[in-house]
């Protein structure tokens, strides 16, 4: 009878001196961005994000509002984002920094690390470089929101910004909805041109010199900038359009004009987080419609307003469920790769 087995590769990171090794009897897999990316597929990630948003809405997730540690004088912020899903028994924490001056140093402005833990014991399972996770899970959540909030045409997509989120949003939206036009605007046009080239979608993708030009006529608009002042005005947005507002300048969500906020339905990923992060909007009397998870899980119908806005505040549970998916895919991949057959007499 052939015997089939598999070998799991581990990098032992937490190894103590020999005498105390039993105290550190843990092996943790360290995944670099390239390993992470290999395990990511939009078709698998979008349903995971639908599940994350639905679990947030029905409160089956334990997720404290993210802890924000400003780094004074450096234009930076450190966010600590833990979460636990009862449904998936998935536990973890993302540590992410956002330093707006990093681009001049050749570094990404957002740098993330995700720690995935065993839901039964708290033992670390994997440490993952988290920039791909952040880019992909945010875009997948926007796809999920677009699917549930926008039943209209999905022909013209507008992307404001040309950084990491702009790229993942253009890729995810095109992969899932097959837009026939993608209009990009960025403060620095050269970066928009570069993004267009990287997307490699031929004449579908066009670069625009003003945000107004890029946004006008668009069915879906994704704002993905570090802007701390509005970059999208109500008059540029047609009736029936859907907006995914992703940019967060040091926790302050300010890419959309006040008039736009007043015109449409504001739908969020988490009401608990929104009540903290949107205190200023609420003070101005701008109402929040509720969370997208309540539509995904069938408890509410989508808002009737002509313009819908999904505010992506960034959820730790999205990171944890993505990391769990990557970990499972990785195990399955290793199982196949290292499966061997031993002939027994
Ligand atoms: N909602 C969420 O879950 C997440 C939100 N973010 C936020 O999304 C935004 C983009 O993140 P990344 O793509 O990783 O950053 P990035 O640094 O790669 O790209 C930033 C983009 O914003 C543009 N930009 C910066 N300042 C601007 C201004 N004042 N006016 C107009 N455009 C400006 C830049 O030209 C660039 O295109 C950031 O605000 C970040 O904090 C990032 C990760 C997750
Ligand atoms: O959820 C995240 O991850 C982030 N949210 C806002 C700022 C950068 C990272």
CATH code: domain 151-315 is 3.40.50.720
| C-alpha span between 136 and 196 (Å, rounded) | 18
Is the CB of residue 168 less than 8 Å from the CB of residue 224?
no
pLDDT at site 335: 79
Is the CB of residue 208 less than 8 Å from the CB of residue 183?
yes
* pTM (2 d.p.): 0.92
pLDDT tens, N- to C-terminus, the chain (345 residues) = 444 433 344 444 444 444 444 445 568 999 999 999 999 999 999 999 999 999 999 999 999 999 999 999 999 999 999 999 999 999 999 999 999 999 999 999 999 999 999 999 999 999 999 999 999 999 999 999 999 999 999 999 999 999 999 999 999 999 999 999 999 999 999 999 999 999 999 999 999 999 999 999 999 999 999 999 999 999 999 999 999 999 986 556 789 999 999 999 999 999 999 999 898 889 989 999 999 999 999 999 999 999 999 999 999 999 999 999 999 999 998 878 776 555 555
Predicted ipTM of the assembly? 0.99
Which tokens sit at 339?
């499966």
Pocket of ligand 2 (CB under 6 A): 79, 96, 98, 110, 134, 248, 314
Q: Furthest-apart CA pair in the chain: how many Å? A: 79
Atom of ligand 1 nearest to the CA of 313: 1
Residue nearest to atom 6 of ligand 2 (CA): 248
| C-alpha span between 4 and 342 (Å, rounded) | 7
What single DSSP character describes residue 94? Answer: E
pLDDT at site 5: 39
| C-alpha span between 211 and 183 (Å, rounded) | 9
Evaluate whether the domain defined by 2-133+318-341 bears CATH number 3.30.1780.10.
yes
pLDDT at site 11: 41
Rounding to the nearest 10 degrees, give the CA dihedral for residues 185, 186, 192, 196: -40
Which tokens sit at 8?
């799991």
pLDDT at site 334: 84
Is the CB of residue 36 less than 8 Å from the CB of residue 132?
yes
pLDDT at site 27: 82
Domains of the chain: which residue ranges? 2-133+318-341, 151-315
121 CA distance to ligand 1 middle (Å): 37
| C-alpha span between 224 and 161 (Å, rounded) | 5
Residue nearest to atom 5 of ligand 2 (CA): 314
HSE-up of residue 48 (Cα within 13 Å, Cβ side): 27
Our mutation pick for probing the ligand 2 site, out of 134, 227, 313, counting the most ligand atoms within 8 A of Cβ, is 134
pLDDT at site 249: 67
Rounding to the nearest 10 degrees, give the CA dihedral for residues 49, 225, 216, 244: 20
Q: Are strands 205-208 and 29-31 parallel, antiparallel or unpaired?
A: unpaired
Round the CA-based radius of gyration of the chain to a whole number and report it. Answer: 21
Task: For 15-43, give the secondary structure using H, E and C.
Answer: CCCHHHHHHHCCCCEEECHHHHHHCCCHH
Atom of ligand 1 nearest to the CA of 229: 29
Is the CB of residue 230 less than 8 Å from the CB of residue 255?
yes
pLDDT at site 333: 85
| C-alpha span between 109 and 97 (Å, rounded) | 8
């Amino acid at each position: 009878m052939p015997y089939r087995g598999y070998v799991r590769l581990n990098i032992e990171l937490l190894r103590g001196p020999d005498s105390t090794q039993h105290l550190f009897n843990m092996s943790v897999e360290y995944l670099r961005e390239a390993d992470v990316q290999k395990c990511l597929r939009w078709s698998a990630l979008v349903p995971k994000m639908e599940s994350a948003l639905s679990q947030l809405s029905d409160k089956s997730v334990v997720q404290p509002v993210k802890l924000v540690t400003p780094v004074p004088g450096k234009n930076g912020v450190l966010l600590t984002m833990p979460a636990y899903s009862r449904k998936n028994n998935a536990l973890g924490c993302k540590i992410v920094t956002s330093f707006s001056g990093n681009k001049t140093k050749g570094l990404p402005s957002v740098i993330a690390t995700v720690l995935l833990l065993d839901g039964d014991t708290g033992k670390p399972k994997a440490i993952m470089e988290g920039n791909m996770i952040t880019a992909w899970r945010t875009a997948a959540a926007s796809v999920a929101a677009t699917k549930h909030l926008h039943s209209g045409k999905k022909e013209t997509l507008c992307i404001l910004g040309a950084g990491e989120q702009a790229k993942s949003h253009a890729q995810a939206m095109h992969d899932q909805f097959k837009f026939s036009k993608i209009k990009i605007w960025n403060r620095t046009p050269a970066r928009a041109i570069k993004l267009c080239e990287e997307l490699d979608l031929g004449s579908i993708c066009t670069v625009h010199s003003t945000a107004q030009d890029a946004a006008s006529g668009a069915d879906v608009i994704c704002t993905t900038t570090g802007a701390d002042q509005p970059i999208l005005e109500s008059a540029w947005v047609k009736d029936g359009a859907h907006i995914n507002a992703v940019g967060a300048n040091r926790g302050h969500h300010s890419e959309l004009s006040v008039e736009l906020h007043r015109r449409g339905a504001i739908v969020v990923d988490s009401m608990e987080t929104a009540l903290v992060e949107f205190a200023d909007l609420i003070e101005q009397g701008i109402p929040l419609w509720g969370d997208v998870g309540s539509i995904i899980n069938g408890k509410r119908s989508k808002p009737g307003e002509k313009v819908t806005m999904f505010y992506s505040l960034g959820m730790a549970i999205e990171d944890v469920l993505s990391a769990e998916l990557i970990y499972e895919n990785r195990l399955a991949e290793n199982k196949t790769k290292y499966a061997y057959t031993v002939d027994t007499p």
